[in-house]
Chains A and B, each alone.
Chain A
């Protein structure tokens, strides 16, 4: 005998969002780092920003922390980023709540017209992609490093930054298309 079950998940009202356009030529572009204060997040994001600047002639204009990885970036922090940056490197997505809130910040910045690289460690990249998709931005610019960040030495972090810079350049200068839905 057949049975009809009601859906326990309910409707999702979140609209699909679009990425900000990538910056085709980074020369002279202003790069900012939004640090969520997870151990070593600011260090590696800053390292990637500087490598990107050296390679392209961009400038690193701002490295700013938010109060906590488990909270959204404060309005005044977002305001300073909007004033100071053409490109933001944020994160880290290196744990659960920090991934969730970093994804939130990424969506906010992209919707403000600033291409934003979301730094994720390999262990949390899939989560970052899923969560940004749930927030309506399926094609978010997720920049993966090996990780983990916590417990790594400066030398290890520098190596991870070096390995990531090529991908950072591609993500910053293009406008990735959304992957096909699973």
Chain B
């Protein structure tokens, strides 16, 4: 019987190791909890053997400092990321993707200092593109954002564990690394938020190509809310009614997009909706342009709801009855295809003062 109340004390065997006198998983779990590490779920104990196995196929320098993750400003290296990957349950092919994701969140425009600390529930959305989808065993089809696939579940979890451990983005009361995460409620996607682009079902070029990035594999990170479902199985003929429904979801005042006009949306089209659009001759840019025109509300409504906000000057000049878009450019509406059969798509709003980053995989 394990005494959880007095989880085994650890001995420091070196700067980066801890020796527990009892290897049983219950003891390790309790010790990590007491230490304030982990995400509350059981983890794989990060032994030296497991971490070395995780690093064995990594081609880069394992001690490269990719960046300092705020608020703790811990230095993220592939070696420390490998510890977190082991804890999350990743297999070694996911490590380069984890490194790419962390490179992305370290880009200044991602604003990790804000994302990792805000009262907003924002999570880091991780999106896998290209050859890595199949090679890494990711599920880009049915249930891509749901449970049941190890690669999806564990890569997203590893990113979160890195933010918790290296970044100190822990909620109040947890951990010895500070309480950097002030999220009023948080959201379930803070445990894991990873899916894959379904390039095979997409009628358009893959998402990184649309950004001008020609890479065999890539990872996109974005600071986003949980997805909101869009259901349309009624539309026949022209596809505009599908997008009109999306526009109604985008044009809500509860999202930070309403106060930050530079904020992005991700529109994740199910393959069937994407086929309806493309079958009618719509390109990705047409979808962006249509949603930009339709996701609007009267400028006077914006002004009545928000005392201070970050809108472009031309938006501030609009009359009360003029329609103000929810974001300042059509390009801020990011379009891609993921998921399986069914008449569903997703609208994913942003935290606001953050930009998505797409990074090629080394």
* B19, B74, B117, B353 interface centre (most CB from chain A within 10 Å): B117
The number of A-B residue pairs with CB atoms under 8 Å apart is 156
Whether a CB of chain A sits under 8 angstroms from the CB of B46 is: yes
Closest to A96 in B: B182
Contact of B22 among A1, A13, A37, A130 (CB under 8 A): A1
A136 to B22, CA, bound (A): 36
Whether a CB of chain B sits under 8 angstroms from the CB of A4 is: yes
A124 to B182, CA, bound (A): 9
Whether a CB of chain A sits under 8 angstroms from the CB of B308 is: yes
Closest to B353 in A: A70
Q: Please, what's the 1-or-0 string for A134-164, where 1 marks a CB less than 8 Å from any CB in chain B?
A: 1100000000000000000000000000000
- Min Cβ gap A100→B in Å is 4
| B residues in contact (CB < 8 Å) with A | 10, 13, 15-23, 28, 37, 45-48, 51, 65, 68, 70-77, 80, 83-84, 87, 111, 113-120, 161, 165-166, 168, 172, 176-183, 260, 307-308, 310, 352-353
Give 4 new A-B contacts, CB below 8 A, not counting A3-B28, A6-B16.
Answer: A3-B22, A4-B47, A134-B70, A134-B73
Contact of B180 among A2, A8, A100 (CB under 8 A): A100
A126 to B180, CA, bound (A): 10
| B178:A68 contact, CB within 8 angstroms | no
Which residues of B are found within 8 Å of A99, using beta-carbon distances? 117, 182
Whether a CB of chain B sits under 8 angstroms from the CB of A59 is: no
25 interchain pairs (CB within 8 A)? A5-B19, A5-B45, A6-B46, A7-B83, A8-B84, A8-B161, A9-B37, A10-B165, A13-B68, A13-B75, A14-B73, A67-B310, A68-B260, A70-B118, A70-B352, A71-B353, A96-B181, A96-B182, A97-B114, A99-B182, A100-B113, A104-B113, A130-B71, A130-B179, A130-B180
| B165:A8 contact, CB within 8 angstroms | yes
Q: Please, what's the 1-or-0 string for A101-138, where 1 marks a CB less than 8 Å from any CB in chain B?
A: 10110000000000000000000101100110111000
Which residues of A are found within 8 Å of B166, using beta-carbon distances? 8-10
| A residues in contact (CB < 8 Å) with B | 1-14, 37, 39, 67-68, 70-71, 95-97, 99-101, 103-104, 124, 126-127, 130-131, 133-135, 182
